[in-house]
Structure 1
Amino acid sequence: MLLEQERRDVCLTARAIAHHPGSAPGEAGTISVRSGDLVVVTPHGVPLEQLQPLDCPVMSLDDRMLEGRRDPAAETTLHLAVHRRAAEHGRDGLAVVNAFTADTVAVSAVLAELPPIHHRAAGLGGAISVTPYTPYGTGELADQAVKALKGREAALLAHHGGLALGEGLGQALEHLWLLDWLCAAYLRAHQIGEPRVLGEDELAEARRRGSYGWAGPDPFL
């Protein structure tokens, strides 16, 4: 079986999304991970918590299905577009996760951009773009997602939910949960008033601080 471990990892990630509070029931998102020129994706028509490794199609970067007992999910077009762009920039082992959580859908249905109101947003690149609405599974949505991800580890797909990248599925899932949390924090803050947005200098300082331990840079170096 091609990419057996990657297919198992996709299934474990799928279950994590399915069991996350706020996730949509059934097919609550799409997951993929690339190894070399091959990409494992989630299939069409299977609830995430029921996914089995043999269900997961293995795709080539040029859209050919090489193995799998089910057809690929509709959003495979988007995932392969992101993987192709990453391959062009020499980014190996990329994982892509998109999920329909209540908070990411809510924010994506209202805002044109999720502003950074917490320093952890710096880890995703700062402000998160929201793509214009287009039907799922289309090349147009794939193109919009690739644009929105430029310089970012996450994006919001209007009326669809969140999209996150990572060096492996573990990091991609961590970035997705961070995006979901940032959406929830924004929604809660907006109930009180207009949230104050962190500026680029403040985000740059957060990134700088993130590279050190609790005491800052070593004064003896």
Structure 2
Amino acid sequence: MAEHRGERPDVRRQGRRASPEEARAWTELVAAARRTVADGLVVGTSGNVSVRVGDTVLVTPSGVPYDRLAPDDVTGVDLTGRQVLGALVPTSELPMHLAVYRATDAGAIVHTHAVHATAVSTLVDELPLVHYMASALGGPVRVAPYAAYGTEELAAHTLRALEGRSGCLLRNHGTLTHGAGLDQAYDRTAQLEWMCRLWLTASSVPGRTPALLTEEQVAQVGERLRGYGQPG
């Protein structure tokens, strides 16, 4: 959902003070939200980012440009949606974020309106296996049926599309990915947008059809990725 730009609300702190861990997490969340704009994954205040710290979920607030968020703007809710930190209204997509946290072991969530991914969401029910990096999201990426933003219906559609996956497309809307932390969730968002762009590019060549991988081939890569990178 686009969190529409408007006048910045007058902030008066409510609830308890943020812990040092929550304050650090908020700084990282704001940086990730600003990165979605810089990388062209959202426009203005569209999309939203959240991170879980214990039983508290820190979320981007509704309608506040990310470059104007400050340390004192920390916004947090518990897993029932009750606001426990800050006075800014949380993102309108809070039901979707909370549903994912309650149903998975996610530590962070990134939701964007990335152009290529949103375009693909209008064309197919599942992103064709055009690249092995689909394994980084658990396999073929599904498209959740359309529902109005901020609704429990959209949250339910999203959970079904995420079964066995760490990312999905939202029809005529955008993307949602989750990870153990913000870096992983963001990387999965970037990979998903790149794969969507790749498929759209390959599909646009007249008279040619992209070669696709099998689910078995993608699963094989998934096993290899578990040992990818530096130890420790």
TM-score norm. by structure 2 comes to 0.85
**Matches of 2:138 and 2:97, distance apart in 1:** 20
Q: CA deviation at 1:212?
A: 5.0
**1:50 corresponds to:** 68
Q: 173, 182, 187: which one pairs with 2:186?
A: 173
**1:141 corresponds to:** 154
The one-character-per-residue Cα deviations of 1:153-198 (angstroms, maximum 9, x if unpaired) are: 1000111111111110011000000001011001101112322221
Is residue 42–residue 114 contact of structure 2 (8 Å, CA) maintained in 1?
yes
**Matches of 1:95 and 1:117, distance apart in 2:** 27
1:35 matched to 2:53? The reply is: yes
**AA paired with 1:29?**
G
1:20 matched to 2:39? The reply is: yes
**AA paired with 1:186?**
W
**Matches of 1:16 and 1:212, distance apart in 2:** 28
**2:214 corresponds to:** 199
Q: CA deviation at 1:55?
A: 2.6
Q: CA deviation at 1:52?
A: 2.4
How many residues of Structure 1 are paired with residues of Structure 2 in the alignment? 208
Is residue 143–residue 169 contact of structure 2 (8 Å, CA) maintained in 1?
yes
Q: Secondary structure at the match of 1:114?
A: coil
Change (3 A) 1:24 1:208: closer
Is residue 57–residue 79 contact of structure 2 (8 Å, CA) maintained in 1?
yes
Q: CA deviation at 1:69?
A: 2.5
Is residue 36–residue 42 contact of structure 2 (8 Å, CA) maintained in 1?
no
The one-character-per-residue Cα deviations of 1:78-122 (angstroms, maximum 9, x if unpaired) are: 001101112xxxx2x610100111111111122111121111111
Which residues of 2 match residues 106-121 of structure 1 at below 5 A? 106-121=119-134
Change (3 A) 1:211 1:82: closer
Is residue 62–residue 90 contact of structure 2 (8 Å, CA) maintained in 1?
yes
Is residue 177–residue 186 contact of structure 2 (8 Å, CA) maintained in 1?
yes
Q: Secondary structure at the match of 1:170?
A: helix
The one-character-per-residue Cα deviations of 1:97-152 (angstroms, maximum 9, x if unpaired) are: 00111111111122111121111111111211111111100000001111111110
Q: Secondary structure at the match of 2:169?
A: strand
1:7 matched to 2:26? The reply is: yes
5+ long unaligned stretches in structure 1: 215-221
Q: CA deviation at 1:213?
A: 6.8
**AA paired with 1:121?**
A
**Matches of 2:107 and 2:23, distance apart in 1:** 17
**2:199 corresponds to:** 186
**Matches of 1:54 and 1:162, distance apart in 2:** 29
Q: 157, 167, 176: which one pairs with 1:154?
A: 167
